[in-house]
Amino acid sequence: MPTIETFHMPDAGEGLTEADIVTWRVAPGDTVEVNQPLLEIETAKSLVELPCPYDGVVVALLAAEGDTVDVGAPIATFDVDPGGEAPADDAPVAQDAVVAEAVVAEVPVAQAPAAPEPAPASSPAKVAETEGSGAVLVGYGVKAGSAQRRERRDGALDPIGGAEDASEYPVLAKPPVRKLARDLGVDLTTVTPSGPGGLVTREDVEQASQANSARSLATYAADDQPWLESGYSKDGGRSTRVPVRSVRKRTAEAMVKSAFTAPHVTVFHTADVTETMTLVKRLKADREFADVRVTPLLIVAKALLLAVRRHPEINASWDDEAQEIVYKHFVNLGIAASTPRGLLVPNIKDAHRLPLHALAAQLGELTALARENRTPPTSLTGGTISITNVGPLGIDTGTPILNPGESAILAFGAIREQPWVHEGEIKVRWVTQLALSFDHRLVDGELGARVLADVGRVMSDPSQGLVWG
């Protein structure tokens, strides 16, 4: 008999409860090895590639691309002893390999005409299950309740990206074909299947897309935006509704909780940063810094670290359950980053220990990973204080909301040339605006003002860092 092992959705970060399946790298029947790429998931924090945990053959994929699966739920089964004794002749194994590949978590048995009826629970032919494993026979779909998904808000709506839940839309299609339908905006329920057993093929989807092209041209132009691909319409295409998921959902939850839990206070400071711009220019020409990117953000990050060293009580958090203030003796410096997946705040671990060159290297790596959607989950937890750099967008300043679990966040605005009184004369100087939001439960106004003033002082005269460093 085959030896079936079940792979459950792991916690790819600290305390995550669910993840979205983005791409399967394998299909039922594939021979796999330990640590080869198995699938790609999107959590509330990052995009993560999961390795295969077994050597053997893929028996079934228990959740489809696009599904939201709870941590701990079974997502795939493997035969880890494919060379073992063959099953008995009367064992109801899959009769149609195509159907076995197609029926994966999405299509109930009753809707798969080529698949035989499943054996009763008492039948010895049923694949042995470990407690809670959710293992099933090849081609029989998923054990009820094994992969826990989010229900659609309104099953009667017209999905732009094609059918996702076979209990509502009985369509036979492999996960890659479903993904293609979503990418092309084809509703699978409107496609005439040409494959065996009523299977929708890639060619069917492509033909349907071409047939719909004339109608698509008449739809509202905004529907071509990539961030609307996962949406659906309930008013004939006049508007698109996109389910709030993953990073956007977690960001919204965190910001609402932070805004209505921590009493925010924001203080502002306008600083002459001409000397900072001069320093940036000099460092760019320095051979010691030739291998890193030097920007004004590097200097403001160093300035904030110096201010935290002078006022360590700003580097804290509020433990509401224990009614305690937790003072951190380390600085994990968060840098807010806008990515294709939404706002992320990865942090540099133990940034207070880094000299300027090492800090520049860490900033460069953090930014590159965020832009490539490769930020590791560990970089998104444990932050103690953050910076949001709104200057590149041409924004002077703002009133940033605290990252949950932190007591302060610094907004760094655009640097502009403007008239400024310098040494008793009006001159053209480089000027920026800084804003510091803080949790007034544990940070008094005086402390917040002193921290911001120190940041501005270093930005105005970077040599001050030598005195405080």
pLDDT tens, residue order, the chain (469 aa):
678 999 999 887 656 788 889 899 999 999 999 999 999 888 766 678 899 999 999 999 999 988 888 889 999 999 998 876 544 444 444 333 333 333 333 333 333 334 444 444 333 333 333 333 333 333 323 333 333 444 433 333 333 333 344 334 457 888 788 888 887 778 888 888 998 878 899 899 888 877 654 344 344 444 455 556 666 666 666 666 766 665 666 666 666 677 667 788 999 999 999 999 999 999 999 999 999 999 999 999 999 999 999 999 999 998 888 888 899 999 999 999 887 667 789 999 999 999 999 999 999 999 888 888 788 888 888 999 999 999 999 999 999 989 888 999 999 999 999 999 999 999 999 999 999 999 998 899 999 999 999 999 999 999 999 998 7
Cα 392 from Cα 294, distance rounded (Å): 14
Q: Summarize pLDDT for 415-439 with one digit per residue, the tens.
A: 999 999 999 999 999 999 999 999 9
Cα 396 from Cα 411, distance rounded (Å): 9
Residues 433/409, Cβ–Cβ less than 8 Å: no
Parallel, antiparallel or unpaired: strands 416-422 and 342-344: unpaired
Domains of the chain listed by start with CATH number: 4-111 (2.40.50.100), 158-243 (4.10.320.10), 247-468 (3.30.559.10)
pLDDT at position 88: 47
pLDDT at position 335: 95
pLDDT at position 239: 67
| Number of residues written out for the chain | 469
Known catalytic residues? Answer: 440
Tokens (6 digits) for 411: 């907004």
Residues 386/55, Cβ–Cβ less than 8 Å: no
Residue 416: its H or E element: strand 416-422
pLDDT at position 320: 80
Question: With left for phi above 0 and alpha for psi between -120 and 50, is residue 200 left, alpha or beta?
Answer: beta
Cα 246 from Cα 105, distance rounded (Å): 21
pTM: 0.56
Cα 64 from Cα 104, distance rounded (Å): 7
Beta bridge partners of 348: 333
Cα 277 from Cα 415, distance rounded (Å): 9
Give the list of residues 6+ apart from residue 435 with CB closer than 8 angstroms, or none. 266, 267, 268, 269, 397, 398, 399, 400, 410, 411, 413, 452
